[in-house]
Structures are given as C-alpha cells and as structure tokens.
Amino acid sequence: MISYTNSDWGRNLDKRRSMLGIVFKLGPAPIHWTSKLQPTIAMSTTKAEYWTLADGAKEIVWLWNLLADMHIPQEGPTMLFCDNQFSIKLVKNPIYHTRTKHIEIEHHYIREHVAVGDMEVAYIPTTKQEPDMLTKPRGRLKFAESRRQLGLTNLDELI
C-alpha cells in the first residue's frame, strides 16, 4: 500500500484552517481517500504537512486492520509520500527541537511507526502530488491530470 499526503496551508479564508488531502493506493488503484479541514490552525506549512502525515499514519493503521480482515497481508513498510521536506525531517529525527515542542503529542504518532519500520516517509515533488485536487481548486486541465494520476476514470471515456 502507498499513501500520498498533502495539505494546503491556511487556504480556508473563514477560519484560516488548512485543508488536508490523503490518497491510499493498493497497486495502481485508489482504495481510500479523504479531504477535510484540519481541526486546529497551523502556524506554518510545515505544521500543516506534519499533521497531515500524522492523520495519514492513523488511516494507514485502520486500513491495515481492514485489509487483514479481508486476508490481504501487507508486506514491507507502507510508504507515505509528502512534498514538504522539513516535515519529513521532523518525522525521521527523534531529537525534540525547541522549535517543535509545541506540536501536540498525538501528532508524533507517526514517529513511532517509522521508528519500528512499518511505515516509511519519502519526498515527492509537488507536481506529482496525487491528492492535490483534494486540497486546492484546479482548472479543468489540471483537474483532469490529477484525476488521471489518481487512476480515476471519467465515465464519458468508458462509453
């Protein structure tokens, strides 16, 4: 299973909350995706992306259990792709920096999974970020490209 996480820092103009988008794929097929406002205001793009990674980790554990119930074993670590390199460094670095002490403990959930090796976090360029259409408004052409990246098909193309 592979997951792509993305957030859009503070785009919601009413509450200034960030929108998160997460896509999960099993092979080339998307099996689960989510898009929602984050519950708190992120003071930086790094925090918004880090919180999205933490939400992605929680969803992955839920999907592991669902797939195990369906007798679909997961082999190797689940990859989480993110386009914010500092967020990835926060996940991989166990040192508690003074600038990140205020990040809530629940968001460090992902660190534990990376430390035991059942999840891996890796960088992906923004242009290849699949859940982009879940976090930002897209023009017709970019929306069609995002839909193609996700493996979603337009019903008109099937007829």
- Residue 99: CATH number of its domain: 3.30.420.10
Cα separation, 47 vs 82, in Å, equals: 13
pTM of the model: 0.72
Number of domains in the chain: 1
Cα separation, 79 vs 77, in Å, equals: 6
Provide the residue range defining the domain that includes 116.
2-158
Question: Cβ of 89: how many Cβ atoms within 10 Å?
Answer: 14
pLDDT by 10s per residue, the chain, length 159? 888 888 887 676 677 777 788 889 888 888 888 888 777 776 677 788 888 888 888 889 999 999 999 998 888 889 888 888 888 888 877 665 556 655 666 567 778 888 888 888 888 887 777 777 777 777 788 777 777 777 776 656 555
